[in-house]
Amino acid sequence: MGSSIFLLRLILTSFLLFTFFLETVHGTRKSYIVYLGAHSHGSSPTSVDLQTATFSHYHLLASTLGSEEKAKEAVIYSYNKHINGFAAMLEEEEAADIAKNPNVVSVFLSKKHELHTTRSWEFLGLQRNGKNSAWQKGSFGENTIIANIDTGVWPESESFSDKGYGPVPSKWRGGNVCQINKLPRSKANLCNRKLIGARFFNKAFQAYNGELVPSLQTARDFMGHGTHTLSTAGGNFVRGASVFAVGNGTAKGGSPRARVAAYKVCWSLTDPAGCYGADVLAAIDQAIDDGVDVINLSVGGNYVVTPEGIFTDEVSIGAFHAISRNIVVVASAGNNGPTPGSVVNVDPWVFTIAASTIDRDFSSNLTINNNQQIEGASLFVNLPPNQAFSLILSTDAKLANATFRDAQLCRRGTLDPAKVKGKIVRCIRDGKIKSVAEGNEALSSGAQGMILGNQKQNGKTTFGEPHVLSTVGTNDDHAGGQSDFFLTATDPIESGATIRMSPARTLFGRKPAPVMASFSSRGPNKIQPSILKPDVTAPGVNILAAYSEFASASTLLTDKRRGFKFNVLQGTSMSCPHVAGIAGLLKTRYPSWSPAAIKSAIMTTATTRDNINRPIQDAFAKTLATPFAYGSGHVQPDLAIDPGLVYDLGLTDYLNFLCASGYDQQLISALNFNRTFICSGTHSVTDLNYPSITLPNLGLKAVTITRTVTNVGTPSTYTATAQLPGYNIAVVPNSLTFNKIGEKKTFKVTVQASSVTKRRTYQFGELRWTDGKHIVRSPITVKRR
């Protein structure tokens, strides 16, 4: 605690410096990324290779800037390991000039990405780990190295203790680099055999925001996000993990025995955290070089549809290079649901993860007027359970100078203490996956407790959050959300009612679960419509994991509640590391599998049913969820570990996909380690050997697509069934016999609309291959134009 206070002082001091530096940012120069494709040196470049590459970057830039001196000065990163290119501070005209060089694939402004949980930056929460058996198998994941590109790490967390670990795996090439400052009085060894490396990348951040003071030049996590997600992916088993004594249980990562390495790229002393693309690329280049197996990306790709498309997005480029070095890249779908088409990180080489609930809730019962009970989400209630309090709607306690809407959301300075004091106040959530700020206003106005109702966009998803006073979150059935947050006449939650709040409890075995979270971003994929995204869903609501002891419970600097070893967070950022963890299990079990095979195993064994064996529901639509919410379905690690067949893909397949997508052959060759790649012209985007099938623009003519499956199980004969309501669909051949592991068989699927097929709407179906033991399932998504 003492050291936390020290750090708080340090941060606040730096914060003032930070605003000062904001004034001094350079004039018109901006950071551009000049992307050159792949290096022709091999996968383990020597120091001479690195020097040569950097020199070639200076040389190229000198032809525009006039001298190598000037070039050296302008370059902030030379990507000299696996990604070929550099980031430099340039004028717009200089950038345009460099783009004319025929060796340049693309030149683009380094973007500022936002962390996927921090659009609601007061993320807090508890975790729930699914009870799936493979997650419990602690012996798995032992030698897998998971890289987390995020806000850094809190190395003192027990989740990263190396007790019982053998030596660092020899494939780790990152040496002993551990760029974390020590806490006062702390023991040595911040990195160890569990947390095997930590680095930070902030040159682009500093170019825009001014230089950070030396004590902030560290991979230490001040925000909690990176520690939380890293421990979800690869944290140790830690008993007695809890927040406010709720959710007491064992916190653990998806690959509890994996080794982890932190690459800090997201920096913030203000809201929201910014992750600059040039810093992200540098971290990915380093992680590839360090020899990691899985990269988990916390920032969103967001490129615009242009002819250059993927070549102007750092996440897309970085992920491509990682995959061509056999590294699994897992990224979140985003928290912009339920808007259709909001999914990001949509490249076929990225594993894109949606978020859903688990079967554990943190709950409290509200008793209204002594006769009606509503169950809501809560981490913490400390009101006497038998005492009834008078309820007031925040809009009825509005100060004269506040707007109705601000008062509805309990924004600062909107509530009249004379009306609120001693009561329970009902506010509406002011964000998708935050919010604790409402509690500050309620508490400072003298409220005893708070009911936090959902907005319509929050649907039925409710959150356990570390509020500053006793709080219960209710869904839109009870908070007027259905009528766009105005109460219906029959809603019992109205001013003057009496309310009792029961103590918060952890409830297990909740049904139905999973339910798709309202905030989870949805398909269709607007950028590459023939690839279904997201790919799968995993737990991302009320996730309890390790936390930065510096960060306050709510991550607000003004929140004095600090020193939490664990916290509960929400978001696709939380679901993503679950899948990174599962990928780690598979990688340990099958070291020779490609990233695509690992992804296929997880996708084709996912389920579209919940724990009462009904189709998974959507918390927003109050109807059934579709593949646009969950992709192939909810992950089932214990089945993924024995998938039977996989849809494999390699670099050539991705390059052919780029050919079929219309990219220039010379650009594609630059990605092929500078070996000429010939686009054959016979490839179609729908033929990419993806584990799902999507035909976004079907006419009346029948369309046939090809897929190839690889046997990874015992000798067996598989038969196919396919269904797609409103269409004719056939699989040829519909029986495949495999005699050995690694054997490949190709089949074709023909889809034809009938004259009565509904137009311009998506229809969902599925293809299954089964040998009686395995079911290898692919969602089919078709739209008739």
Ligand X SMILES: *[C@@H]1O[C@H](CO)[C@@H](O)[C@H](O)[C@H]1NC(C)=O
Integer Cα distance of 589 and 17 in angstroms: 49
Could you tell me the strand order of the sheet in which 703-711 lies? Answer: 645-646, 703-711, 744-753, 727-732
Identify which of 485, 374, 386, 381 has the alpha carbon closest to the alpha carbon of residue 427. Answer: 485
Q: Which stretch binds ligand X (CB under 6 A): 95-103, 359-367, 585-593, 645-653?
A: 359-367
Q: Which of 776, 736, 779 is nearest to 640 (CA)?
A: 776
Q: Tell the smallest beta-carbon distance from residue 494 to ligand X (Å).
A: 21
| Angular region, 152: left φ>0, alpha ψ -120 to 50, beta rest | left
What string marks each residue from 483 to 502 as x (binds ligand X by CB under 6 A) or -?
-------------------x
CA distance 270 to 11: 11
Binder among 41, 111, 112, 116 for ligand X (CB under 6 A): 116
How many Cα atoms within 13 Å fall on the side-chain side of residue 333? 42
- In the bound state with ligand X, the residue whose beta carbon lies nearer, of 225 and 252, is 225
Residues recorded for the chain: 785
Report residue 736 as tokens: 């495949």
According to the binding rule CB under 6 A, does residue 545 interact with ligand X?
Answer: no
Beta carbon nearer to ligand X, 268 or 364: 364
CB of 262 to ligand X, least distance (A): 9
Kindly tell me which residue out of 332, 525, 528, 605 binds ligand X, with binding defined by CB under 6 A: 332
The stretch near ligand X (CB under 6 A) out of 97-105, 172-180, 466-474, 574-582 is 574-582
Q: Which of 518, 573, 594, 669 is catalytic?
A: 573
Among 414, 567, 711, 757, binds ligand X (CB under 6 A): 414
Of 14-22, 237-245, 380-388, 553-561, which segment contacts ligand X by CB under 6 A? 237-245
Closest CA to 536 of 471, 428, 630, 614: 630
Residue 761 · residue 772 · CB < 8 Å = no
Task: Give the end-to-end CA distance of the chain in Å, rounded to a whole number.
Answer: 62
| From candidates 143, 148, 435, 537, binder to ligand X by CB under 6 A | 148
Q: How far is the CB of 625 from ligand X (least distance, A)?
A: 20
Q: From start to end of 203-324, where are the E strands? A: 238-243, 246-251, 259-264, 266-267, 274-276, 294-297
- Contact region for ligand X (CB under 6 A) — 224-232, 521-529, 693-701, 752-760? 224-232
In the numeric block, which tokens belong to residue 122? 């007061």
| Least distance CB 726 / ligand X (angstroms) | 35
**Judged by CB under 6 A, does residue 505 bind ligand X?**
yes
In the complex with ligand X, which residue's Cβ is closer, 195 or 207?
Answer: 195
Q: Two tokens at 47?
A: 């120091």
Look at residues 184, 253, 261, 235 and name the one whose alpha carbon lies nearest to residue 6. 184
For residue 632, the one-letter residue type is S
Q: Does residue 297 bind ligand X (CB under 6 A)?
A: yes
Instruction: Point out which span in 294-302, 435-443, 624-632, 697-705 binds ligand X (CB under 6 A).
Output: 294-302
Tell me the C-alpha distance between 761 and 757, whole Å.
10
Neighbours of 614 (CB within 10 A): 12
HSE (side-chain half, CA atoms, 13 Å) at 299: 34
364 binds ligand X (CB under 6 A): yes
Applying CB under 6 A, among 573, 689, 692, 710 the residue interacting with ligand X is 573
Verify binding: residue 542, ligand X, rule CB under 6 A: no
Nearer to ligand X, 89 or 546 (CB): 546
Cβ closest to ligand X, residue 143 vs residue 686: 143
Peptide bond into 715 cis (omega under 30): no
576 contacts ligand X (rule: CB under 6 A): yes
Residue-wise burial string across 137-166, b where 16 or more C-beta atoms lie within 10 A, e elsewhere? beebbbbbbbbbbbbbbbbbbbbbbbeeee
DSSP 8-state code for residue 193: S
Residue 148: CB minimum distance to ligand X, A:
4
113 conformational bin, left if phi > 0, alpha if psi -120 to 50, beta if neither = beta
**CB 363 → ligand X: shortest distance, Å?**
4
461 binds ligand X (CB under 6 A): no
Q: Of 57, 78, 82, 150, which one is the catalytic site residue?
A: 150
Q: Of the listed 225, 467, 478, 774, which one is catalytic?
A: 225
Stretch that binds ligand X, among 51-59, 362-370, 607-615, 712-720 (CB under 6 A): 362-370
312 binds ligand X (CB under 6 A): no
Contact 266, 298 (CB under 8 A): yes
Q: Cβ 618 to ligand X, closest distance in Å? A: 21
Minimum Å distance from CB 671 to ligand X? 23
Least distance CB 158 / ligand X (angstroms): 14
Q: How far apart are CA 635 and CA 132, in angstroms?
A: 10
Nearer to ligand X, 207 or 294 (CB): 294
The footprint of ligand X on residues 393-412 (CB under 6 A) is: 399, 401-402
Q: Which is nearer to ligand X, 507 or 700 (CB)?
A: 507
Of 472 and 753, nearer to ligand X (C-beta) is 472
Considering the rule CB under 6 A, would residue 331 count as an interface residue with ligand X?
yes
Nearest distance in Å: CB 576, ligand X: 3
Residue 334 in contact with residue 117, Cβ under 8 Å?
no
Pair of tokens at residue 161: 């203790």
Among 67, 189, 248, 370, binds ligand X (CB under 6 A): 248
Minimum separation from the CB atom of position 172 to ligand X (A): 17
In this chain, which of 78, 129, 365, 445 binds ligand X, going by CB under 6 A? 365
Tell me if 591 contacts ligand X by CB under 6 A: no
d(CA 355, CA 232): 14
Choice from 120, 144, 227, 298 touching ligand X (CB under 6 A): 298
- Counting contacts by CB under 6 A, is residue 150 touching ligand X? yes
State yes or no: is 225 an active-site residue. yes
Burial pattern 476-511, b for ≥16 Cβ within 10 A else e, equals bbbbbbbeebebeeebebbbebebbbbbbebeeeee
Query: Looking up tokens 């006419």, which residue turns up?
Result: 699
Number of residues forming the site for ligand X (CB under 6 A): 33
Is residue 316 within the footprint of ligand X (CB under 6 A)?
A: no
Regarding 233 and contact with ligand X (CB under 6 A), the answer is yes
Query: According to the binding rule CB under 6 A, does residue 451 interact with ligand X?
Result: no
User: Closest CB to ligand X among 152 and 644?
Assistant: 152
Q: What are the CA-CA distances from residue 271 to residues 33, 482, 546 (Å)?
A: 25, 30, 22
Residue whose entry in the numeric block shows the structure tokens 């001040």: 222
DSSP string, 433-494: S---HHHHHHHHTT-SEEEEEPPGGGTT-------SSEEEEE-HHHHSGGGTS---TT-S--
Stretch that binds ligand X, among 157-165, 225-233, 427-435, 467-475 (CB under 6 A): 225-233
Name residues contacting ligand X, limited to 193-222 (CB under 6 A): none
Does the protein bind ligand X through residue 375 (CB under 6 A)? yes
**Residue 240 touching ligand X (CB under 6 A):** yes
Catalytic residues: 150, 225, 573
Residues within the interface to ligand X (CB under 6 A): 116, 148, 150, 225, 229-230, 233, 240, 242, 245, 248, 296-298, 331-332, 363-365, 373, 375, 399, 401-402, 413-414, 502, 505, 507, 573, 576-577, 580
